[in-house]
Amino acid sequence: MSYVTARDGARLYYKAWGEGRPVILIHGWPLSADSWDAIALPLAEAGYRTIAYDRRGFGRSEQTWTGYNYDALSDDLADVMKEIGARQDVALVGFSMGGGEVARYMSRHDGAGVTRAALISSIVPYMLKTDDNPEGVDQSVFDGIAAGLKKDRPGFYGGFFKDFYGVGVLSQPVSDEYLEWTRTVAMQGSLKATLDCANAFATTDFRGELSRFTVPTLVVHGTSDATVPIDASGRPAAAGIPNAVLKEYDGAPHGLFQTHRDRLRDDLLAFLAQ
């Protein structure tokens, strides 16, 4: 397996498929790089060097005790880019929590080397409901997530991932086997990393960093996302980012990288080719 070493010594697993312009795929919470496979393969086949890495504490990366704030996580992204030689004409694609790494890289690292960005079901710009962010998610929801993880993590994931993929009594956009695989991937992460990252994406305010997106940016969000509501994220992100294009997927849930993977593949390929 392939690893890079972050500036604090943490070992981060990555995989790089194909040759050509680098496209870095940053996964969501609480998954791993493997969640991108169905998108990464056609991107590589289309002539891009497609790189996906496991966030520290998840998948095959080292389970450090610290480093789960967005400053540290954007530093990890910078270190991955440096060590694999992705220094110019880079496209960053962040799903859910991964959108935060994209935003913080654009501000903290001045977007070095990046010429395209995409936010997919992203938590940017601010998830938490506050007086000046009334469309956000109430703190009690995040408290419930933490309590559920501490009490019975596999049990919590059982319900969480049904909402994540929009599975209901009359809706089955992914198979039971895919749901179980997703839970297995999530259980590879450390409990510490899972809790700390949930706090990071719930409480980090990226609103002041939207202007740092100085490259063409694609924002993709499902209108039925019950995990990261579009009115708290996709719509205000697109409104605040210069040169952003918003594509709303009518009726799509949070995990549209699987439920709407063909459409997302086509939209990403079209965006990258512009």
Q: Which of 225, 233, 260, 267 is catalytic?
A: 225
Letter for the amino acid at 267?
A: D
| Residue 74 is among the residues annotated as catalytic for this protein | no
Residue 224 is encoded by which pair of tokens?
């039925």
8 Å CB contact between 49 and 18: yes
Q: CB-based burial of residue 250 (10 Å sphere; 0-12 exposed, 13-18 middle, 19+ buried)?
A: exposed
Residue 197 is encoded by which pair of tokens?
């990252």
| Residue 96 is among the residues annotated as catalytic for this protein | yes
8 Å CB contact between 80 and 2: no
Instruction: Kindly provide the b/e burial profile for residues 31-66, where b requires at least 16 CB atoms within 10 angstroms of the residue's own CB.
Output: bbbbbbbebbebbbebebbbbbbbbbbbbbbbebee
Instruction: Decide: helix, strand or coil at residue 120.
Output: strand
Closest CA to 212 of 119, 93, 112, 107: 107
Beta bridge partners of 25: 52, 93
8 Å CB contact between 126 and 231: no
Letter for the amino acid at 236?
A: P
Q: Which of 32, 35, 74, 96 is catalytic?
A: 96
| Residue 225 is among the residues annotated as catalytic for this protein | yes
Residue 229 phi/psi, 5-degree rounding, is -60, 140
8 Å CB contact between 59 and 86: no
Torsion sign, CA atoms 120, 94, 36, 262: positive
Q: Which of 27, 221, 254, 260 is catalytic?
A: 254
Dist. CA 242–CA 250, nearest whole Å: 24
> Which positions are annotated as active-site residues?
96, 225, 254
